[in-house]
Amino acid sequence: MERTRRQSLIEALRQGPMTLMDLAQRFKTPVKVILEDLEHIRRGLKGGARLVQADPECLACGFKFRGRKHFNKPSRCPRCRSEHISAPEFHLVAEGGCRQENPSS
């Protein structure tokens, strides 16, 4: 039996962090569809797993976009107005697993 795209997406995210572009290229689907899939996966995760988003960062001034609820890349830095922002990375962790994006919390 063949897995659905979302099942394959979950498996890919368990293997390690990936950006939206990485996922879109891997599954040969538009970023918009991947965004919808990630939202669906986030809502439906069971068994103690959770979807973690690493904080995007301004490459010009170092501002970190902490606590974003949206999966898409921010368009502009609120501090310096630069548009050079790192792409957020996503991965699945088991509940109780470490949070790599904010080690101080």
Q: What is the four-CA torsion angle of 81, 102, 50, 58, rounded to 10 degrees?
A: 20
For residue 101, the model assigns a pLDDT of 45
* CA torsion through residues 92, 97, 102, 105, sign: positive
CA pair distance 42, 26, nearest whole angstrom? 20
pTM comes to 0.76
Look at residue 99 and tell me if it is in a domain: no
Is there a domain that residue 72 lies in? yes
Residue 102 lies in a domain: no
* Per-residue pLDDT reduced to its tens digit, 76-96: 999 999 999 999 999 998 876
Q: Which residue has tokens 């099942």?
A: 7
Q: Could you tell me if residue 36 is inside a domain?
A: yes
Per-residue confidence in pLDDT tens, the chain, 105 aa: 788 999 999 999 999 999 999 999 999 999 999 999 999 999 888 877 888 999 999 999 999 999 888 888 899 999 999 999 999 999 998 876 554 444 333
| Tokens 């902490």, residue located | 66
Domain count, the chain: 1
Q: Are 92 and 51 in contact (CB under 8 A)?
A: yes
Write the CB contacts of 98 (distance below 8 Å, at least 6 apart in sequence): none
Instruction: Classify 100 as helix, strand or coil.
Output: coil
Residues found in the chain: 105
